[in-house]
């Protein structure tokens, strides 16, 4: 059991525990905190794979901006613990097996085609930020500019949604 494998299992266990906690917790703020734990452990996994810039962006944008937005909304709306509702019979008894079936299907597809998924030939390469930025501005410059439009549209959408109703 080499050290990278051990760290992988630790971080993977942390991520799965966080995801399970997202489902099992009753209060939305606890679910939000569990999701933050998942994101930070995923950032650790990205670091393990040598993608350091993506790991930093994951923490800064996902963990430091998007989840802060979620936490704000939960606080502003004064969300409380979920009330107990009765699921339909189908969901209660068929839910868990179906979920396991979905995950099992995906995982089986990956294990069966295991040979087609190559292991990394250079497992220790660190992705340099310079290369990512060169690629971002040469091969992917069109999607890059489009995402700036997307963000502008999102800002305008949020502004329109936040307007008070005009009393005419």
Site for another protein in 31-90 (CB under 8 A): 31-33, 35-36, 38-39, 42, 45-54, 56-66, 68-77, 79, 82-83, 85, 87
Q: Is the dihedral of CA 54, 59, 60, 65 positive or negative?
A: positive
Site for another protein in 87-116 (CB under 8 A): 87, 91, 95, 99-100, 102-103, 106-107, 110-111, 114
- Cβ-proximal residues to 43 (8 Å cutoff; 6+ apart), any chain: 55, 56, 58, 59, 63
Which residue from 93, 97, 135, 145 is in contact with another protein, where contact means CB under 8 A? 135
Largest CA distance in the chain: 71
- Smallest distance from another protein to CB 125, Å: 6
46 CA to centre of own chain: 12
Residue 117 touches another protein, criterion: CB under 8 A: yes
- Smallest distance from another protein to CB 86, Å: 10
* Between 23 and 167, CB nearer to another protein: 23
- Smallest distance from another protein to CB 97, Å: 11
- Smallest distance from another protein to CB 72, Å: 7
* Burial class of 112 by CB neighbour count within 10 A (0 to 12, 13 to 18, 19+): exposed
Which residue from 3, 89, 166, 167 is in contact with another protein, where contact means CB under 8 A? 3
DSSP letter string, 68-120: HHHHHHHHHTT--PPPP-PPPHHHHHHHHHHHHHHHHHHHHHHHHTGGGSPPP
- Smallest distance from another protein to CB 168, Å: 19
């Amino acid at each position: 059991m080499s050290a990278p494998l051990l760290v992988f299992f630790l971080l993977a266990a942390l991520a799965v525990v966080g995801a399970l906690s997202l489902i099992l917790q009753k209060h939305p703020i606890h679910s939000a905190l569990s999701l933050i734990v998942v994101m930070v452990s995923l950032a650790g996994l990205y670091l393990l794979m040598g993608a350091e810039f993506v790991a930093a962006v994951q923490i800064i944008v996902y963990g430091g901006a998007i989840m802060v937005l979620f936490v704000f909304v939960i606080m502003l709306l004064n969300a409380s613990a979920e009330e107990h509702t009765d699921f339909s019979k189908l969901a209660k008894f068929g839910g868990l097996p179906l979920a396991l079936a979905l995950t099992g299907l995906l995982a089986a597809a990956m294990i069966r085609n295991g040979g087609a998924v190559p292991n990394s030939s250079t497992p220790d390469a660190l992705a340099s930020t310079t290369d990512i930025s060169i690629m971002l501005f040469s091969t992917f410059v069109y999607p890059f500019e489009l995402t700036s439009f997307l963000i502008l549209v999102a800002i305008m959408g949020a502004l329109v949604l936040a307007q008070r109703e005009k009393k005419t």
